[in-house]
Structure formats: C-alpha cells, structure tokens
Amino acid sequence: MNLKFSYKIFFDCNCISLLDRSRRMTTLLILLFLPLISIGQIEICDNGLDDDNDNAIDLNDTDCSCLIVEPISLIPNPSFEDMNCCPDDRSQLDCAALWIQASEPTTDYIHSCDWYGWDDFPPPQPFPDGEGIMGFRDGRVRNNNDAEPFWKEYAGACLLSPLKKDTAYRFQFDVGFVDPQKSPPIYITFFGTSDCVNLPFGIGDNAFGCPANSSDWIKLGEVRVNGNEGNKWVNTNLEITPDEDIYAIAIGPSCTPISSPISIYYFFDNLLLSDLESFQLEIKEEEHPCSNDYKLSVPFNPEFDYQWYRSGIALVGEVFSKLTKNYGEGSYQVRILNEESCRVSASFEYAIPEFVEVQSVSICQGDIYTFGALEISAEGIYLDTFKNENNCDRIVTLDISFIGAKYDTTEASILEGESYIIEDYSFEKEGEHELRLTSSLDCDSLVLLKLTTFNIYFPNVFSPNQDGVNDTFGTIGNDDKIRSVEISIYNRWGDLLFSGEEWDGGESDSGVYVYAAKLNFDYGISKTFFGSVTILK
C-alpha cells in the first residue's frame, strides 16, 4: 500500500531560532513517519533524498506541492510589449495595447520595431524588460520659447483587478535617465481613481497639470529617483494602502510645477503592481552574477521558516532568507512555512553571462604581440578567455595581421618635367619605383609606385567663326588629369578681356592676344602657363 500524507506542524515558541525551529520540525517529521519512510511511503521535502523511491526528489515530488507565489502585475501590458501598431513617431502611446494617454500633454511609445525616441533624448540601452518602453516629459521648453512648467505627461491604464481598500500593495518599476541635465532627480508619482471613465483627465487643457487637480483622482504615493550620472535605468518601488477601491491608475511626474531652461525627459519600463504579500518570496540578486560573492535572497520575515532549493532539490542547511554561499548556475526556489500555509517562490534562473568580442590588430612584421599568456609572432586568428571588471568571462577572438608583409601599389601620373613627392622621396621619370615607407605604427611598409607622365597643350591659333572647327581656345589633351582651369586673356595693352575655362573670342578682332592659364592637377600640383594665341576671323 502506497500511503501519501499532507500535514501541518505548528510551533508556538519565540525562544528558539529559525534554524532550531526548522531542525525541530524536520526531526519531528522523521520520528513520526520513520516507519513509513523505511518502506518508501512518504517524501521528506527538505533533505535532498528520494525518500519514497519514486525517482522524484523534494519539490519535484507531488508529495511536496506548495502554493507557488509570485507577483503578477495588476497593470495590463506592464512592459509595453503588446502592440496595436508599431510606433514611427512621438505621441503614439495608443500603439501600446491597453495603455491610455491620460493627460492632454502626450507621452511617447518607444519600441525597437521602428521608433527609438527623440534624437535629443536617447533612451539608455538595453531596455530592462523586452523591446518597448514609455517616455514622458516633466515641464517643456518648445522652440526656445518660455518654459511651460505645468506641461506634465502621464500614462494611464484600467487595472486588471482593482486595488482593494486597506490592502497593502507594492508598485515596482524601472525609470530611465538621459543625462543629469535632461533627467534630473524626480519624484515619480502614482495616482488612482475609483472609475475608469475618469481616463483621460484634463481634456483640452495642456496646463491642467497632475491628475490630483481633479476631484476624481487621488495621489496614492510617490518616490524620489536619482539617475546620478545619467544614461541608466534605476529600479525602485513604493508601497501604498489605498483608502478606497482603485480601478484605474496614472503614472508620471509630481504635481510641483517645473521651471527649467530645457525640456525634462524620462522613461518607464517593467511596471509591476501587486499585493505586498506576493513580494515576500520574490528572489533578488546580491552582487553581480559573475562575482564570487553572488548570492540570492528574499525579504526576511521572522515568522517564516525558510528552505532553499536548486532544480527542485533541497540545499540542506540553507534555511535562512539569504543563501550562505554561491551554489553556481541553476534554477532556484525558496519555500516558506508558517502556521497558516506552505508557499514556494517562482523559479529564479541564475546564469553567468559571457561576453564575446572580436578584435583586429595590425602590427609591424617581426614584432611580438602579447595576448594573454601568448607571445604572437605570426599572422592568424587566436582565441582566449579573460575576466572583465565584473569577473565575467570575456571570450576574445583576435585577428592578427602584419603591416609591410606585402607590397602596397600606388599609381600616379604627373605633368612631364614635374616631380611626384611621397614622404622624403621625389620621382620625375616614368616607370616602377620601389620604396620603403614608415607607417603610423612605425612599421616599414613596402610600396610599389607606378609613375606615368603627360603633357598639356594650348593652340596658337583659333578661328571663332562657328564652323565647328577650332572655334574656342583652351587646353588640348589629358583633360582627365586636370581638376580645374582658369584662363585669363589680355590684349596688347595689358587689358583683361576674359577670365574662365574656355574663350570663344567674344567680340575681339583678329590679331594676337596674350594668355595666362592656371591649371590645378589631380595629383595636387598647380601650374600657370603663359603664351600667345592668334584669332583668325
């Protein structure tokens, strides 16, 4: 016969420690049910053993079922993930499912599907939860005009179930900051109303201010949040006990008018609103996940007996609100017992993050590059793992190449008789020239220069008679080598008759004229040519 029992044991003694209470409970259970345990009929839920031989240990055994407790937000779509549409500009909170633009001044819906927010107010990355967030202003300055201190932007929602009168709740959320000037410290304020029909409020009045300026709304609570240096998210919370049932909420800045020479802006994400009791088993991290001192904890209550589990199996001796050491990666839960119930937290997944990085490095041929414990003297791809400032693994792939290992080929063309200058070298003759240069890294670099020369010609006679032959005066040949040209034409008395790229003779009579032609070449040299040209009409 396979007997399975559920039971409650009560202690009414305040003179023993939590550890003693837990040990006494376990000892008493063993003494009471030792005969049944010996024949494999009942599972003890906190010893890490398969007592009833059914291949299920502790919380993995249905004998050890307890009510799983976790905060579930009464605010719909708490992380702005569900969408009616993808926002592509400001003032589109209606794209976030179940959210209501509460105030006449409009909040912004920001989502990675398209719109990442204002250029002047970039949100800190990554977002705390998912791909959507909400942005709002507290005071506005528009087009460099006077400040609008009553410009206050709020988002609202009808709750999934009402906040009950005289019941304690916690509102936990993340606030995003741009920088210390655009996002100074702020009092985030939480408002409530007894009827959803009161959303939105202040219709048609941009200067209405906070919801509490209406008799339909009350302030439930506020908390001061400081982003310090900015470009970060800050997780915070406030606790409330409403004096009446609340069916809808609005969140945003405080009621105090803000006078600032610039617009003030913030972000919201991950808005968790639940009864306070639900948070008593919310597992929190202490220290960075890569730290050797990383531990998990839950809020302490002297009325509770605690037991921690990893992958559903009891961590024997871990009977306090905080783990005594780091047991490594895995799925963690904590059970609490009191005189009224047995409850277990939702699973908390602990995974040590890894960071992957790719580096490309160029060094001089013959040099040595130090990479961890390696002294690298050959081109190639190398892999090693390092620790970052938080003691996390940083996996680095290194691509090493040498400067000067191969020829770099440079082609150039110069006017015949001129010189091509490259660093300390000068070349006049056509042909291929080898040279060794020093790079910015002080490496020797081999360069093969392929040099050609060209000439520029000017006609000495032209006939501007519109017959399509020699009608204009300008350069002849190699136009592709010329960046710009400016020709000046003078008569025999030195008067300037024309300045431009090409002369059509204008109204000039037949005769001899003097020219000066300034040419700028593609290889960076300028040269002025002088001569005379004869017009035949």
Per-residue pLDDT of 10-57, as tens digits, reads 333 333 344 455 554 554 444 444 444 444 578 999 999 999 999 999
- Weakest-pLDDT range from 249-263, 331-345, 412-426: 412-426
Sign of CA dihedral 241, 346, 27, 62: positive
- 3-class SS at 364? strand
* pLDDT at residue 441, rounded to an integer: 58
Q: Where are the domains of the chain?
A: 18-70+282-350, 93-276, 354-403, 408-454, 461-535
pLDDT of residue 465: 83
Q: Which residue has the tokens 């002025």?
A: 528
Q: How much is the mean pLDDT over the chain?
A: 87
**127 exposed, middle or buried (CB, 10 Å; 0-12, 13-18, 19+)?**
buried
Integer CA distances (angstroms), 101 to 198, 233, 433, 454, in order: 12, 23, 72, 72
Three-state SS letters, 438-460:
ECCCCCEEEEEEEEEEECCECCC
Handedness of CA 53, 59, 61, 64 (dihedral sign): positive
**pLDDT > 70: what percent of the chain?**
90
| Strand 526-535 relative to strand 461-462, pairing | parallel
Residue 120 CB-density burial (10 A; 0-12 exposed, 13-18 middle, 19+ buried) = exposed
Name the residue among 257, 161, 142 with its Cα closest to residue 209.
257
Q: In angstroms, what CA-CA distances link 412 with 271, 427, 452?
A: 65, 11, 6
% of the chain exceeding 90 in pLDDT: 59
Residue with tokens 């002849």: 476
- Give the Cα separation of 194 and 218 in Å (integer): 9
The pLDDT of 233-238, averaged and rounded, is 95
Token representation of residue 423: 């660093």
Between 361-365, 373-377, 460-464, the lowest mean confidence (pLDDT) is in 361-365
Q: Report whether pLDDT(113) > 80.
A: yes
Q: How far apart are CA 384 and CA 363, in angstroms?
A: 19
Q: Which of 217, 271, 255, 268 is nearest to 138 (CA)?
A: 255
DSSP, res 145: -
Q: Are 73 and 273 in contact (CB under 8 A)?
A: yes
pLDDT at 407: 58
Q: How far apart are the first and last CA of the chain?
A: 129
* Per-residue tokens: 337: 């017992």
Q: What is the pLDDT of residue 84?
A: 97
pTM reported for the whole predicted model: 0.55
* Lowest mean pLDDT across 13-27, 54-68, 380-394: 13-27
Contact 306, 323 (CB under 8 A): no
Check whether 413 has a pLDDT greater than 70.
yes
Selection from 515, 508, 511 nearest residue 531 by Cα: 515
| Cα 325 from Cα 322, distance rounded (Å) | 9
Q: Decide if 271 contacts 171 (C-beta within 8 A).
A: yes
Q: How confident is the model at residue 1 (pLDDT cuts 50, 70, 90)?
A: very low
**How far apart are alpha carbons 231 and 266 in whole angstroms?**
10
Q: Which two tokens stand for residue 432?
A: 């291929």
Residue 144 pLDDT > 80, yes or no?
no
Residue 173's DSSP bridge partners are 236
Instruction: Read off φ and ψ for residue 485, nearest 5 degrees.
Output: -145, 140
Q: Which residues sit opposite 519 in a β-bridge? A: 485, 527
CATH class of this structure's domain 461-535: mainly beta
Fold (CATH) for 93-276: Jelly Rolls (2.60.120)
Q: Within 13 Å of residue 419, how many CA atoms lie on the same side as its CB?
A: 7
Q: Which two tokens stand for residue 361?
A: 């490095």
Band (pLDDT 50/70/90 cuts) for residue 197 is very high
Ramachandran region of residue 269, left (φ > 0), alpha (ψ -120 to 50) or beta? beta
Q: Which residue has tokens 């240990």?
A: 57
CATH fold group of domain 18-70+282-350: Immunoglobulin-like (2.60.40)
Is 4's pLDDT higher than 60? no
Distance CA 304, CA 18 (A): 8
Asked if 269 contacts 177 with a C-beta cutoff of 8 angstroms, the reply is: no
> 93-276 and 461-535 share one CATH topology?
no
- Sheet arrangement for strand 431-438: 408-415, 444-454, 431-438
Which 8-state DSSP code applies to residue 90?
S
Residue among 55, 38, 59, 35 nearest 47 (CA): 59
